[in-house]
Amino acid sequence: MKTLVISKPIYDYIMPLVDFPQDGDNFFIEKTINSLSSFGTIAALTLGKYGVDTTYTGMVGNDDVGPKIKEILENYQVDTKYLEVNFEEKTCVSYKIYNKKSNKFTNINSFTLKSNLTKYKYEFVPDVVIMDDRDYNANNAALNNYPNSLTIFIGDKFTKESQVYCKRCKYIICSLSFASEATGIVNGLNKPKNIVAMYQKFIDLYSANLIIKLDNFDMLYCVNDEVRLIKNVNNNLANKESIYYSILSYFLINNYSVENAIKLTNKVMLSSPNEIDIINNIPDYTVITSSLEEFKKTSPQVIKSSGEVKEQTVTPINNDVNVEQNVQTQQVQNQAQTQQNTSQVQPVQNQAQMQQTNPVQTQNNQNLTSPTQQTKNNETQNTVNQNPQQNMQVNQNVQNNNGVKNA
């Protein structure tokens, strides 16, 4: 599998301090920590580390930083043949103050390199193209030149150019603010029904399979016309968005379903180190293999998705329905299948009806279900069909109680 990653690298100078400096403070550090950033660059390093045949293309400037970036990429087995050099400008750099007390970075960016890539054709046809928002022309050219490639866009800030990615890429992995700006729904996103409305509007406007990172790395996605939420239980993810997105991309390009890809990513990230240098926090490949083995033990069925990636659609929401949060528990017997699952479902229900869908049970997993989808069924159903990809019995009460059902 040949993967092309398009980005523009950023060289980081990280200065770790015991606290954030105030006016007039003097701090002394022995040396800065040097690293790389940008979503695409970290994705290339991650995939290269995991043995994926990865080619990186991006622009660096005419300085001593460009060769350092090239060396780091090649140390991770990434092909840099298409790394271009602009001899009139300087490489993008970021000066980062790392506050040891708060575990947060303050970034001072010097993105003086305005030029983008000039070469858009390669000596191979990529099976996968991963891109971020750093070079629109190169991204658009790849979408035109390789229409049959699996494409993933990783974004944090929505721009007018982002609409192209949302319409043409197969997967969009993004922040809540990105999805909010893409849909124009910016208020009330602390309520489940408004989040569902935002997701559904995105599906109405665009064609990509949308994966949204909410606060605290809760992940929102869609399966079989049903909006779902996997809650994060890992408190070790601060400053690791780019690594999380990269590992998620790794499982997606290896044909794992969106839900299983998120589960596996959460599992792998539990073993991520806590170094200041973001590159050193990429888990070893042994963590990937051990996580897969453990996952297969609990899910002996084939856990990879089969066939071509299909577009997800969501029934429009009835915005007049109020959603309240309640907690109920009950044992749910699966009437359609005998396979078992390790996790639990938290659907958002209309107060009068249950949904006749096929939700996947996931630990700390929510189904944010459209109320109009629920009203399609005239009978209350007290069973939740289990995912054929899981194998442990679920104990959960799904009661008709107008709210989010938490396990």
Residue 267 lies inside a defined structural domain of this protein = yes
Please give the order of strands across the beta sheet that includes 104-110.
33-37, 10-17, 93-99, 104-110
Find the CATH number of the domain harbouring 168: 3.40.1190.20
Q: How many Cα atoms occupy the beta-carbon half-sphere of 84 within 13 Å?
A: 20
Provide φ and ψ at 71, rounded to 5°.
-65, -40
Q: And the tokens for 124? A: 């191979």
- DSSP letters, 338-352, are ----S-BEEEB--SS
Q: Who wins on pLDDT, 109 or 363?
A: 109
Left, alpha or beta for 309 (phi > 0: left; psi -120 to 50: alpha)? beta
Each residue's pLDDT tens digit, 135-148: 999 999 999 999 99
* Within a domain: 126: yes
User: With 80 as the cut, is the pLDDT of residue 63 above it?
Assistant: yes
Which of the residue ranges 57-61, 229-233, 260-264, 311-315 would you say has the lowest mean pLDDT? 311-315
Distance CA 42, CA 61 (A): 19
- State residue 347's pLDDT score: 43
Q: Which range marks the domain in which residue 167 is found?
A: 2-298
Identify whether 164 is part of a domain: yes
pLDDT at 400 exceeding the cut of 80: no
On whether residue 231 sits in a domain, the answer given is yes
When pLDDT is averaged across residues 342-363 and rounded to a whole number, the result is: 37
User: Model confidence over 35-52: pLDDT tens digits?
Assistant: 999 999 999 999 999 999
Overall number of domains in the chain: 1
Residue 250 CA to residue 304 CA, distance in Å, equals 13
Instruction: Considering only residues 355 and 282, tell me which one the structure prediction assigns the higher pLDDT.
Output: 282
Q: What's residue 365's pLDDT? A: 52
Q: Give the residues across from 130 on adjacent strands.
A: 5, 152
Q: What pLDDT, on the 0 to 100 scale, is given for residue 162?
A: 93
Q: What is the mean pLDDT of residues 99-115?
A: 90
User: Is residue 291 helix, strand or coil?
Assistant: helix
Based on DSSP, count helices (H) and strands (E) in the chain, helices before strands: 10, 17
**What's the pLDDT at 25?**
86
pTM for this prediction: 0.76
68 belongs to a structural domain: yes
| The pLDDT value given to residue 76 | 97
* Per-residue pLDDT at 247: 98
The three-state (H, E, C) secondary structure of 185-222, written as one string: CCCCCCCHHHHHHHHHHHHHHCCCEEEEECHHHCEEEE
Report yes or no on 379 lying in a domain. no
What pLDDT is recorded for position 300?
57
Share of the chain above pLDDT 70, in %: 73
Residue 142 belongs to some domain of the structure: yes
Q: Is the pLDDT of residue 127 over 80?
A: yes
Confidence of residue 2 (pLDDT cuts 50, 70, 90): very high
The residue-averaged pLDDT of 160-177 equals 95
Give CA–CA dist 127/271, Å, rounded.
Answer: 29
Whether residue 190 lies inside any domain: the answer is yes
Residues 37 and 242 sit within 8 Å (Cβ to Cβ):
yes
Instruction: Classify residue 261 as exposed, middle or buried by CB count within 10 Å of its CB (0-12, 13-18, 19+).
Output: buried
**H helical segments located in 350-395:** 371-374
The torsion angles phi and psi of 162, rounded to 5 degrees, stand at: -65, -25
- The DSSP string of 123-191 is SS--SEEEE-TT-HHHHHHHHHH-TTSEEEEEESS--TTHHHHHHH-SEEEEEHHHHHHHHT--S-TTS
Please give the full DSSP string across 41-65, using - where no structure is assigned: HHHHHHHHHTT-EEEEEEEEESSSH
